[in-house]
């Protein structure tokens, strides 16, 4: 029997860089973290992108307009 969860073993941690959605600063998020605060502006940075209407709504393109829709999708 384990005295603690083997999935939390610090030897297995991975680090990823994520851009702050507010200021663009790159922050490190470890695999055992869901979010961290940006050291530059204090904004919460999440490991996974929060779903947006552009990801699931069929009308998002019409609603936002072509230019804004392309910007948000990253297809400039």
Quote the pTM value. 0.52
Least confident stretch, 4-13, 31-40, 53-62: 4-13
- In percent, the amount of the chain with pLDDT more than 90 equals 29
Question: Is residue 4 domain-resident?
Answer: no
- Mean pLDDT for the chain? 81
* Residue 22 and residue 40 in contact, taking contact as beta carbons nearer than 8 Å: no
Question: Is residue 41 domain-resident?
Answer: yes
Q: What is the pLDDT of residue 76?
A: 45
Question: Is residue 63 domain-resident?
Answer: yes
Question: Is residue 61 domain-resident?
Answer: yes
Q: Is 49 exposed, middle or buried (0-12, 13-18, 19+ CB in 10 A)?
A: exposed
Q: How many folded domains does the chain comprise?
A: 1
Question: Is residue 60 domain-resident?
Answer: yes
């Amino acid at each position: 029997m384990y005295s603690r969860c083997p999935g939390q073993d610090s030897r297995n941690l991975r680090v990823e860089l994520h851009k702050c959605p507010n200021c663009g600063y790159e922050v490190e998020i470890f695999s055992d973290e869901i979010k961290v605060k940006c050291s530059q502006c204090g904004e919460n940075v999440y490991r996974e992108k929060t779903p947006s209407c552009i990801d699931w709504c069929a009308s998002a393109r019409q609603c936002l307009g072509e230019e804004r829709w392309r910007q948000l999708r990253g297809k400039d």
